[in-house]
Structure 1
Amino acid sequence: MSRTIVITGASGLVGSATIDSFLNADWDVISVSRRRPEVFSDKKFTHLSVDLQDPEACNASFGSLSQVTHVAYTAVYEKPGLIAGWTDPEQMSTNLTMLKNVITPLSKAATLQHVSLLQGTKAYGAHLHPIRVPARERELRDDHPNSYWFQEDYIREKSAELGFGWTIFRPTIVLGPNVGVAMNTIPVIGIYASLCRELGRPFSYPGHICYPREAVDVRLIGDAIVWAANNPNAWGEHYNLTNGEVFSWRDLWPTLADYFKVDLGPDVPLRLSDYLPDQEDLWAKIVTKYGLRPMSLSDILGQSHFSADARFGYGLTELPSPTFVSTVKIKQAGFTQTYDTEQCVKHWLNVLMDRKIIPTP
């Protein structure tokens, strides 16, 4: 049976991993993003460079893809500064429009069988108020405007109209190798450690308050999307995704200091969203010294230094409410993949070194 999936946001954190997962499962893959994704598989796939905010470009690109059976929608629009945009009506409207610009022409050209969407802990209102511990998928929808609800309602409507299935995933903090994206802490850590080593300054934890978190390896997300695409019992369901354990960034810091061969200093709160952009000149020297890819800090960071400040607890004056989610539902449904978070962080830092994004210690 021919199985062809369109993966949007393909150069992003989840999108590129999803390409690898579907290629590994021997699917035909059409990736969609403005820049070609960097993947690990050597299998061939089709790439379309499309601006999802341009309806005419989307109609032209997707209107003839009659072979498509599935969609993994991993694209997201984030405004500069990141966090303020989460409650911005214009950002919500743009994210809904982008989804429509994909589904409308595809649903006319092809017979869709299944669509996967991404949400996150903001679905439980974690960015606005304390949430139930653990947050479970069966809870009533948290009553606040956000892109998730607009996109979900649209997909539910189109599913009922056209007869395709859908699955929605809610990952926690996502760990992977991508640069220039909105929320990936891995390159932030790599850059900060590299700057500390070059300056001879201690590798100090940059937050005010550390607290336990949950994270998920991006490979797990991609494999979960493949699992759902193949599994009608997962259609019409929401699933939380984590590595299967809790951790804290502060508790990782000593092992990261050893990994980077830098001295571990006492905690020194530092707003990385201010500090890192000011180091462009030093980074240019590091790039030349170590033969790295000719990328600026802004090219590598994207918006991720803003989310890193929040994740490291910069500016907090008291311990925040926990944001733990349950993954019992997806495990009971048959998807039981787990990862060691500490090993994930080191794995993806190794990839950034192999790709000549950050220097090897």
Structure 2
Amino acid sequence: MEEENPTLHVALIVGVTGMVGVALAEALKKPTALGGPWKIYGVARRALPVWFPPSFLDEFIMLDTLNEENTSKMLSPISSVITHLFWVAISVNQSEEINISRNSSMLSNVLYALTSSPNSQLRHVTLQTGTKQYMGPILDIAFSNHLVPHDAPFREDYPRLPFPNFYYALEDILASYPKPITYSIHRSSLIIGASSRSYFNMLLSLSVYALICKHGNYPFRYAGNKYSWEHFWDMSDARVLAEQQIWASVTDKAKNQAFNCTNGDVFTWKMLWKVLCDVFDVEFVPFDEQEEFDFADFLKDKGEVWDEIVKTNGLYNTKIEEITCFNEIQFILKNLNIQHVCSMYKSREFGFHGYADTLASIAPWVERLRQMKILP
């Protein structure tokens, strides 16, 4: 792989306590990291949680990037050293128009703080987005019933859909910056990783569900429909996303390009459900489309059960509503009657060959969450 050889790369990870932020910090600190050695600054809205290894960062900055004045105050002083911005932050709102406004403001505020000084060293920005690029604003009820997603497998050269999408807005912001600043876009599928600070955390949500079922002796029933149970999906391991972003940030031919980033394999939810049953020692319940099951409704009053599990096992103190996305999982698995699969051909063609075995990675990620005392 073609690689630059500067004296020192300095990364700023915005969203460092999320699944991919943690994986990025860990990967950049490895002696074998492309472009290394790296110095790493991390930004998050809240203080570092106790499970975050302090050795992953050289400096942490607590900052709400929606605040333009504070963002400039906190980041302008380091604009003379930051060479690479890794954007893995997200603001999730009910309306896509609000998503566009808030996420655009966050990115614009940070970019302005890092580039307004004549001594700015910023060279490259990696932007993490996702498959909503190909499906539209699926969680905005104003549009969700009218969307016609692209055909799978999703390809990077598909045209934009005629609906508002904050991913499009963020891409346009990056493309508006003149050279020598370059960028790369990284479109993830469902992300699997370890954090209590990620909004869309499918694995942690389903883990909490499995533990509640085990605790109360409830059947561990599937949250979706027959189509999603039987058809192909893909996932993005946070470590693969981190590898691809680091690769693109120091590889000339990857500059100003968009890449899908998945594990490179596919699974069915039936297969994954069996893995979850094995990991959490709950009985596998075959899907029965004759039985109506409202997954989100079942879990809406289980906060006290989770509180008891946390207290009994001496876990990191979390509230069920802060670490799960039950409504979103149910909507996706019951309403997306498509094969949710991305093409990884472009990524391979450009020289990135990272991959992961999705089903085999479930147990190690759960074990990581256990080590972090997020799960028992």
**Structure 1 length as normaliser, TM-score?**
0.90
Candidates 59, 77, 88, aligned match of 1:46: 59
Distance 1:225 1:269, change over 3 A: farther
- Structure 1 residue 271 and structure 2 residue 294: aligned? yes
Code of the aligned partner of 1:143: P
Q: Whole-Å Cα distance in 1 between the matches of residues 276 and 99 of structure 2?
A: 36
Does residue 297 (structure 1) correspond to residue 320 (structure 2)? The answer is yes
Aligned pair 1:100/2:120, yes or no? no
Corresponding residue number in structure 1 for 2:13: 7
The reply to whether residue 132 of structure 1 matches residue 145 of structure 2 is no
Runs of 4+ in 1 over 4 A off after TM superposition: 37-41
Write the deviation string for residues 210-234 of structure 1: whole angstroms up to 9, x where unpaired: 2321111000001111101111110
Q: Give per-residue Cα distances to partners, 1:31-79, cap 9 Å, x unaligned.
A: 0112326545835421100001100110101111111111011111102
Q: Does 1:90 align with 2:98?
A: yes
> Which segment is superposed worse, 288-297 or 146-155?
288-297
- The residue identity in structure 2 corresponding to 1:331 is R
Q: Which runs of 5+ in 1 are unaligned?
A: none
Would the alpha carbon gap of residues 179 and 44 (structure 1) be closer, same or farther in structure 2, given more than 3 Å must change? closer
Relative to structure 1, the CA distance from residue 112 to residue 179 in structure 2 (aligned partners, 3 Å threshold; closer, same or farther) is same
Distance in 1 (CA, whole Å) between partners of 2:88 and 2:45 is: 13
Contact 1:173 1:216 in 2 (8 A): yes
Query: 2:251 aligns to what?
Result: 231
**Structure 2 residue 245 is matched with structure 1 residue 222:** no
Q: Check the 8 A contact 2:134/2:149 in 1, yes or no.
A: no
Pick which of 245-254 and 225-234 moved more.
Answer: 245-254
Measure the CA separation in 1 of the matches of 2:98 and 2:57: 37
The answer for the alignment partner of 2:224 in structure 1 is 207
Give the secondary structure class of the aligned counterpart of 1:93: helix
Q: Aligned equivalents of 1:199 and 1:184: distance in 2?
A: 23
Does the 8 A contact of 1:131 with 1:323 survive in 2? no
Go from structure 1 to structure 2 and tell me whether the alpha carbon gap of 1:260 and 1:278 turns closer, same or farther (over 3 Å shift): same
CA distance, structure 2, for counterparts of residue 275 and residue 122 of structure 1: 27
> How many aligned positions are there?
345
Partner of residue 165, structure 1: 182
Which residue in the other structure is 2:76 paired with?
63
Is 1:34 matched with 2:45?
yes
Report Cα offsets for 1:264-320 as digits up to 9, x if no partner. Answer: 23436543433323112222222222222232212322xx22222134x23x4xx71
Deviation of residue 347 (structure 1)? Answer: 1.6
1:343 to 2:343 alignment: no
Tell me how far 1:342 sits from its aligned partner.
0.8
1:324 to 341, 345, 366: 341
Q: Does the aligned pair in 2 maintain the 1:23–1:41 contact within 8 Å?
A: no
Q: Tell me the CA shift for residue 185 of structure 1.
A: 0.7
Question: Which consecutive residues of structure 2, in runs of 5 or more, have no partner in the other structure?
Answer: 1-6, 139-146
Q: Identical aligned pairs, as a percentage?
A: 28
> What corresponds to 1:262 in structure 2?
282
- Alpha-carbon separation, structure 2, partners of 1:206 and 1:329: 33
**CA distance, structure 2, for counterparts of residue 275 and residue 181 of structure 1:** 22
Question: Structure 2 CA distance, aligned partners of 1:187 and 1:47?
Answer: 25
Partner of 1:334: 351
1:163 CA drift (Å): 1.9
The reply on whether 1:306 has 2:338 as its aligned counterpart is: no
The alignment's TM-score, normalised by the length of structure 2, stands at 0.86
Which residue is 2:306 aligned to?
283
